[in-house]
Homo-oligomer: A and B are copies of this chain.
Amino acid sequence: MYVTILSDETTRKPFRTLSSTTARSPEAYLRAGSYLYFEGDSVDWLYQVKTGVLRLTRMLEDGRRQVIAFGYPGDIVGFPSDGLHHTDCEVLVDSHLQPYRRSMLERGDGDPDLHRELLQAALREISAMQDHFMMLGRKSAVEKVASFLCVLTDRVGQEVAGHVQVALPMGRGDIADFLGLTTETVSRTLTQLRKTGVIAIDNIHTVIVLQPTALISLSLGDRG
């Protein structure tokens, strides 16, 4: 998932379960802290996240890191390029994954519906990544953090006592590396949003959105 404000309805789609009944392998269950694959591994399977949260990262030689995406329920991860994975994929929250053979994406093997679904997922991925370019290249720290919270609110927000509550299973460093910021800036920006009453921070991993409209405004860069 590319946690960005999208102009289209990509992130608002209800959980999309691929429809095919053939050629899937047994389901996979992974514990938080384990890795699904590493950069350079050859791709044998794609995975649809059923439950849990994944984190896709890429590293530079000097240690700088970019979080490419978080994988939330409904997302498909593991698209190959030249047959290889180009990110590491760590499990942040115990996850239930549905594997699909790579050949199902690339050749279809007797299930055109599934083939088409996987292709469409890849194409939506491209569009979502384009949105994230705008985020990384053109948005301020406040806009980035607000955008991030907005999308998480839409996708995995929980209604609790009249307010929407959002879990942040990833660390501040993960958010920073996703948004192109430092942990300090993410922390300060969250504090700022808390002090202005837009959000409340229940605990480090739980944010409550008190003023959803204000949060959206901030995510879009409205000044007034």
B-binding residues in A (CB < 8 A): 7-10, 58, 60-62, 64-66, 68, 79-82, 84, 86-87, 105-107, 116, 119-120, 122-134, 136-138, 177-180, 220-221
Contacts and interface: CB of A to CB of B under 8 A. Distances in A.
Given A61-B220, A137-B177, A137-B179, A123 B80 contact: yes
Contact of A129 (B61, B106, B126, B180): B126
Given A60-B221, A66-B138, A122 B130 contact: no
B129 A129 contact: yes
Which 10 A/B pairs are nearest by Cβ-Cβ distance? A137-B180, A81-B127, A136-B136, A66-B134, A129-B129, A64-B138, A136-B137, A86-B127, A66-B137, A66-B133
Given A58-B133, A138-B66, A81 B180 contact: no
B79 A126 contact: yes
Copies in the complex: 2
Task: Name the prevailing secondary structure of the A interface residues.
Answer: helix
Contacts of A81: 8, 10, 123-124, 126-128
A187 B132 CA distance: 25
A58 B138 CA distance: 11
Given A8-B84, A64-B138, A66-B130, 10 more contacts: A8-B81, A8-B86, A10-B82, A61-B220, A81-B123, A81-B128, A82-B127, A106-B116, A119-B122, A129-B133
A64 B5 CA distance: 14
